[in-house]
A = this chain, B = another copy of it.
Amino acid sequence: MSISPKLALLEEYALAARALSAPARLMLLEQLAQGERGVEALAEKTGLTIANCSQHLQQLRRAALVTSRRDGKAVIYRLTDAKTLELMDLLRIVAERNLAQVEHILRGLSGGYDPLEPVSRAVLAARLAEGSVTVLDVRPSDEYAAGHIPGARNATLAQLEQILPTLAHDAEIVAYCRGPYCVYAHQAVATLRRHGLNARRLEGGLPEWREDGRPVLIDVG
């Protein structure tokens, strides 16, 4: 009698999971974790075509992971709520905890799997307060301008080599990027270590920092 409703419920849960099962959509969610965005901006950042991007966004909306609103002739998407971010983070944790393959990928990235644990956000906040750390924002400059950790310097991976001489060799450097899905910080740490600097990466990224209720500095202009 009740096989149908039970299956229907499971189908709904499966729908939400399926929304997370395509790399393209994970990229979109990672972008949206930085803040709300229009379709075109998302397409450009992720390298998807406009139409394809739109379809993925609708699939995310069908699973209610994101919501949308109109702004003029543009449609702006954003994460529905913080639970979506939690779900993304937990998915990452489970995948990283259990998949040896992920470790191998990271090993390839940072040359000898990062032996140093990431710096927790609470620890970084404390160190920032006492000024005993250099913070590096490894995201594109437009995202940096849209909001960053107070006191952080901005440098993309391409610019990193150029600013190396200006970095102090005695203080520890903490790099962060978009969040746990993003590998910019991993790569930055690898580069800095190769040059003999004392670098670690922040646990999570700016979205998680903001979610903690910590201060975010926005450039006005």
A14 in contact with B9 (CB, 8 Å): no
B17 in contact with A91 (CB, 8 Å): yes
Interface size for chain A: under 10, 10 to 19, 20 to 34, or 35 or more residues? 35 or more
CB contacts (< 8 Å) of A195 on chain B: these are: none
In the assembled complex, A86 has its CB within 8 A of some CB on chain B: yes
| Interface window among A96-104, A130-138, A201-209 | A96-104
B65 in contact with A94 (CB, 8 Å): yes
The answer, among B80, B83, B108, for a CB contact under 8 Å with A5, is: B108
A21 in contact with B22 (CB, 8 Å): no
Number of copies: 2
CB contacts (< 8 Å) of A64 on chain B: these are: 94-95, 97-99
In the assembled complex, A116 has its CB within 8 A of some CB on chain B: no
In the assembled complex, A23 has its CB within 8 A of some CB on chain B: yes
The answer, among B2, B16, B183, for a CB contact under 8 Å with A187, is: B2
In the assembled complex, A197 has its CB within 8 A of some CB on chain B: no
User: Can you sample 7 A-B contacts with CB below 8 Å?
Assistant: A9-B181, A13-B26, A13-B92, A13-B181, A17-B18, A83-B94, A86-B90
